[in-house]
Amino acid sequence: MFDFDFNKDYILEDERVKLSPLQIDNVSDLLEIANEPDIWNYSFIKGNGEKKLRNYIAGAINQRHNQKEYPFIVFDKQTNQYAGCTRYCEISPNIQSIRLGYTWYGERFRGTGLNKHCKYLLFQFAFEKMGAERIGLAAYSENLRSIAAMESVGCKKEGVFRGIFPSLDGKGRTDAVLLSILKPEWEKHVKHVLRGKLT
């Protein structure tokens, strides 16, 4: 049974990271990171600059109100700083499926283990509390860093959406690589392997 209430303020946390519902007031918390030059390279919705970031966050919150997405702000307890954003999206209760997406972290938080903690909490909540049977993820085919990060937390490649995005240089189209984790995979091995990587 799929159990998720968009009106609840879910907080996911462990000793390293805290994920809280994204609020419009978080513009000031994220503006410095949002202005880093490479943050939006693989996003067709940009959030650089205060106006764009405010629109980005307002749009994410609106998707929550429409019961389509649930965005989080990520707080790194190790540095006592906000690190970025992530969200559940394409939430489909009828088929017990969701997608994780719109994930971005400041440069100083990448490669620190923070992403693994975030993914562990998001996977655990989705499979063990929400009742999801499948979590999908995707990335631009050129975004090798993101694809590698998803594979490192147990995601499996499952296919390609051909020509789904405008290309980064504005000429033609580019592909998206699709990945996923299924509930039996989480229960049998992914959970235990990923937990072992949390340092």
Mean pLDDT of 131-135: 98
Tens-digit pLDDT profile for residues 20-40: 999 999 999 999 999 999 999
Let me know if residue 2 belongs to a domain: no
Nearest CA among 112, 158, 122, 120 for reference residue 139: 158
Let me know if residue 16 belongs to a domain: yes
Let me know if residue 158 belongs to a domain: yes
- Which domain does 79 fall in, by range? 12-196
pLDDT surpassing 80 at residue 95: yes
Q: What is the mean pLDDT of the chain?
A: 95
Let me know if residue 85 belongs to a domain: yes
The two structure tokens encoding residue 179: 């990945």
Least reliable range by pLDDT among 17-31, 62-76, 162-176:
162-176
Let me know if residue 173 belongs to a domain: yes
The two structure tokens encoding residue 172: 């033609």
pLDDT at 166: 86
pLDDT at 113: 95
- Domain of residue 69, CATH code: 3.40.630.30
| 169 three-state secondary structure | coil
Counting the structural domains of the chain, the total is 1
- Please state whether the predicted TM-score (pTM) of the whole model is above 0.75: yes
pLDDT at 167: 86
Let me know if residue 3 belongs to a domain: no
Let me know if residue 186 belongs to a domain: yes
Annotate 26-85 with DSSP letters as a single string: GHHHHHHHHTSTTTTTT-SS---SHHHHHHHHHHHHHHHHTTS-EEEEEEETTTTEEEEE
pLDDT surpassing 80 at residue 103: yes
pLDDT at 98: 98
Let me know if residue 1 belongs to a domain: no
